[in-house]
Every structure is written in C-alpha cells, then in structure tokens.
Amino acid sequence: MESNFIHNIIDEDIEAGTYGGKIQTRFPPEPNGYLHIGHAKSICLNFMTAEKYGGKCNLRFDDTNPQKEDEEYVEAIKRDIEWLGFKWDKICWASNYFDQMYEAAEELIKKGKAFIDEQSYEEIKSQRGTLKEPGQNSPYRDRPAEESLRIFHEMRDGKYPDGSMVLRAKIDMASPNINMRDPIIYRIERATHHNTGDKWCVYPLYAFAHPLEDAIEGVTHSICTLEFEDLRPMYDWSIREVGWWPDPPKQIEFARLNLTHFLMSKRLLKKLVDDGSVDGWDDPRMPTIAGIRRRGYTPEAVRDFCERIGVAKANSLVEVELLEHCVREDLQEKVPSRNVVFDPVRVVITNYPEGETEECEMENNRNVPEMGMRNVPFSRELYVDGQDFMEVPVKKYFRLFPGNEVRLKGAYFVKCEEVIKNEDGSIKELHCTYDPETRSGSGFAGRKVKGTIHWVDAATAVEIKVRDYDYLMRDVVDENGNVTDQEFNEDSVTERVCMAEPSILDTVPGERFQFFRHGYYVADEKLTTAAEKVFNSIVGLKSSFKISK
Ligand code: ATP
Ligand code: MG
C-alpha cells in the first residue's frame, strides 16, 4: 500500500516508541445494513495499514444502540470483508463492554467530571447555545458527586422512566466546539438488546462509547471519516478523564468516498430494498459490496480502486468510470472470451455443404496465449449480431451489407449476396457465400477485408438471458454542471435473449467471460442453473463503437 498522511503519523509514533511499536486498527460497522463501496475504502485502509506495519485489525460490531440488530447484516458484513480478501484478528462486540463503560461513567462522576441532569432533552438542547454564543450551565451541574452516583445507580436499576434524566459530561458550556458543551453520555432506554437482553435500561451514547471501545481493545490508530473530526476533542477527553489507559489511541480522520451515480448511505439503500425498487441488497445495480460482487466486479479491482483514489483529508467526488476502469483492467487478462450474438440475424452460407460441420479454433484470450484455444463448431447456418448487418450501410460501415465481404472471426471470408425477407418486410435471413481459400490461419489467400465480425453456429447455439444495466441513480446536475442530487432511475435494467456458442452450457454461477466485442459478463450467482444461464453485464469494453441505426 502506498504511503499516505495516516502512515506518516504512524511512522512518527513508531519512531517515538509510542505503543511499543505495536499497531492495532479496527473496522467498526454498525450492523444495521449491508456494506457499500464506501465501507470498502475504510476496510482497505484499516486492514492494509495493519498489514503494512505487521499489526492487527479487528472487526468490531458497533452495537451500543439497542435497536434490533439483524443476524443477516452481521453475516453479510463478515462475508463482504472476507470476499475483499481480508482477515480480521478478532471479532468484537461493543456491547460486550457495557460493564466497563458503566464503570468508566462512574469514574467520571466520582472525579466530578460528570453529573446527572434531570431536565428534558428539549431543555438541555435549548441551553446549548450556538456557534457564536456560549451555552448555559445546567442547574444540576454542581450537584454533589455522591448524589449523581446514587441517581446513576437508580437509573440503572430501573427507578426512572425513559428520557426522564441523563448523565452529562462536565466539560465547558462555553467551548467553541459544541460537542464539548457538557454532552450527554448516558441515557435511559428500555429496549431489549440483541446481546445483553434486558440487563440494561441505560445505554452510552456514541461520542462516549466509541473512544472507550477503542481504548478497551488496545487500538492504537482509530481511523474514521471526516464527519467525526469535531468529535475528536470528546474522544480524547473521554479516554483521558477516565484515565485507565496509559497509551490512548489516536483518532485520525480521512475523507469519505463519494462516487458519481452511487448512493452511499445504508439508510437510503435500505429504503430501496424495503420499498421493492431493487431485488434485495445484492441487486447487481446496488453499490453494496454484495451488489457489485453479484455484478461480477472482482475483489482485486475494488482493492486496486481503493488504492488509486488514495487517502485524502478533503472530501471529493470520484467518477464511477475510474472504478469501471479498474474492473476492466483486472478482467482483461483474466477471463476467457465467448462468442455471443445479440439481436441475432440468421445467415445461410449457400455454397457450404449441407449437413457438414467443422471445428474452428478460437483463442480464449488474445492477450494471454497461455489461456489456450477452444473449438467452436461452424456449419452452413449461423447467427451474426444485429449491429453487424445494415441493409443500407452508413458511411464507413465495414461490416455486413449486400455485396460486401467480411471476415468471420476464426472461420472464413463471407460475402452477403441476398437479403431474404418475411412477408411483413422484416429480415428472415441473409444468403451469403464463403471463400474456402480464406480459412483462418491460412493467410487468407493473401486477401484483405476491412471488417471482422463474430458469429455462432445456428444448429448448436444456446439461448441465454443477458441483462444490461444503467446506473441505479441518475445524477441531478445544476446549471454549472455540479451534481446536486441523485434520483432513482426506473429503467436501469434491460434483459434480452441472446445466442451463445455451445461451450456456454458449462458455465457455473459466478463465472466471468468477455462476450467478444460486447463487454464483460458474469453468470448471475443466484439465477444461473444447469438449464438456464442468466448473465449480468459487468462493464463494457473500452471503446465500443456503437452505430445508431
Ligand atoms: P452510512 O451512512 O452509509 O450508514 P456509516 O458511516 O453510518 O455509513 P458505519 O457502519 O457506521 O456506517 O461505518 C463503518 C465505518 O465505515 C466507519 O468507520 C465509517 O467512517 C466508514 N465509512 C462509511 N461510509 C464511508 C465512505 N463513504 N467512505 C469511507 N468510509 C466510510
Ligand atoms: Mg452509522
């Protein structure tokens, strides 16, 4: 991994001997949805940083919120991290530290650093002040520590209703940082927690809980996104004032990943799932890790992408084309090619013997000779791609049209002699002739043609379903060309039946191919069976010249 400003901080710590040279990071998702590609950036950063320094990275489920946690999300998060190719040292649950967090709060009360406030949330909020004006002290601020401690125990024992009182840190109501104006650190909430059940009716708030989780686990560098920068003073204060840890972790913020066309919020993604706009969290159009996996993206490409965008201190918007470029580049040398004809047009080679079939050798990957060759049957009747024939050609069109000769990739030169129509005027088939002297590999009898097209043998062709995608979200752009919003794209998937060479029958779910001249495709991991092959478009080929008819 390339060095970045976070690594510079770590280098300094190592040099100074802080943390005894040990490096510990963590990835701390809240298990309230599936991970998206933004999380992948955080995962790469945390795991690769640990790797680089011979340290360790924990997977910590941040489950201090007693809302219903879903086993499905926990399993999905583990699967996604493993798919990206990382191994956590330990799996941790923030809720396992509730006892220690409670004791830490007691410690603050005893030290006169926290107090019980009996005001309502509204009253507390109204005293908070603004960016320009300081807040007001709570009338309970100076109550004796013993009194706060007694009430805090009664709170825990269930003596008071939800929301009737809170524990607040005693810091500074005039602090320029509003997060430091006596923030609430414990609240009363009667909720059954997935891990601790009904043991607790008081729960710590994030700003207090998160630093303690890090400190308890011996995290050295707590890497998080920029929106937590304003919470850093509270992070440091909590650990310092509790005072149990001689080597407090350091919080370091980096810019979160934003991608054009990609919605990057679990909450909004969950809405799309819940209202049925998409086929679940792993719909191939979703920016979730599960979605891009089903879409055929590779973990190598995602990691490469995360490295290329680097780690910055300022928020920015990355073009989704960069991610697509990484995917294309990774697949280029990895996946074999297959002939698939979209929008099939039947071709009859009138001078080819009826009933005869021959095998044509095709390279599996033109950039990687070691990937070998395969045989593809050729006979009198074929299919070619709809976009490779024009009855009335446009300028510079070198493919099939009446009177023109093209090369059939891996086979022969053929010439279009006649267009046969159905009664309704649509094209029934093309009658062509072939030149037996131009067999592929023969040197084409010294002749040249301008166009080369692909084809499949009609007798053995296999019908497959092919899904092409548009972006799930459309960018809303203002008059200056700046993206201001994203809206749901109703027409983001088209499915069609295409004709593939017979080897496609061996495809297993998740297998990727280049459909020659069309793009990269993956056999859908859920819908592909022995009998039916359903393919998702992964990404197009670089410069596909598409003619508009
Ligand atoms: P969301 O807003 O989508 O729910 P979150 O930040 O609430 O995301 P968490 O489960 O709390 O999700 O995040 C786990 C970790 O992933 C956090 O450290 C968070 O900073 C990081 N993270 C989340 N989104 C991004 C992003 N777009 N780019 C980089 N890191 C991210
Ligand atoms: Mg969150």
Compute mean pLDDT per 10 residues along the chain, 549 residues long, and list them.
Answer: 88 94 96 96 97 97 85 96 98 98 98 98 96 97 98 98 97 98 97 93 97 98 96 98 97 94 89 94 96 98 94 88 94 97 98 96 95 97 97 96 96 97 96 95 85 97 97 84 82 95 96 97 96 96 48
Burial of 275 (0-12, 13-18, 19+ CB in 10 A): exposed
Q: Cα 265 vs. chain centroid, distance in angstroms? A: 11
> Side-chain half-sphere of 195: how many Cα atoms within 13 Å?
17
Kindly report, as residue ranges, where domains of CATH 3.40.50.620 are found in the chain: 5-254
Contact 484, 478 (CB under 8 A): yes
- CATH T-level fold of 5-254: Rossmann fold (3.40.50)
Please indicate whether residue 265, judged by its CB atom, sits closer than 6 Å to ligand 1.
Answer: yes
Helix (H/G/I), strand (E/B), else coil: 395: coil
Distance 350 CA to ligand 1 centre (A): 63
Which part of the chain is CATH 2.40.240.10? Answer: 346-453
Q: 3-class SS at 181?
A: coil
Ligand 1 in contact with 224 (CB < 6 A)? yes
The residues that are catalytic are: 30, 256, 266
**Res 100: pLDDT:** 98
Pick the CATH number of 346-453 from 3.30.930.10, 3.40.50.11540, 2.40.240.10, 3.40.630.40: 2.40.240.10
Q: Tell me the CA–centroid distance for residue 148 and ligand 2, in Å.
A: 31
pTM: 0.92
For 210, counting Cβ atoms within 10 Å of its Cβ (0-12 exposed, 13-18 middle, 19+ buried), the class is: buried
Among residues 382, 378, 376, the alpha carbon closest in space to that of 357 is found at: 378
Distance between CA 391 and CA 425 in Å, rounded? Answer: 12
- How many angstroms separate the CA atoms of 302 and 287, rounded? 12
3-state secondary structure of 195: coil
pLDDT of residue 441: 84
Q: E strand or H helix at 78, and its extent? A: helix 71-84
Q: Which among 25, 204, 179 has a CA at the least distance from the CA of 101?
A: 204
Q: Three-class SS string for 123-145?
A: HHHHCCCCCCCCCCCCCCCCCCH
Site to probe by mutation for ligand 1, drawn from 45, 225, 262 as the one with most ligand atoms within 8 Å of Cβ, is: 225
**Token pair for residue 490?**
């109703």
User: What span, in angstroms and rounded, lies between the C-alpha atoms of 519 and 514?
Assistant: 6
pLDDT recorded at residue 546: 38
The per-residue pLDDT for 543 is 39
> 311 C-alpha vs ligand 1 centroid, how far in Å?
15
Mutation pick for ligand 1 pocket among 4, 26, 39 (CB with most ligand atoms within 8 Å): 39
Beta bridge partners of 56: 24
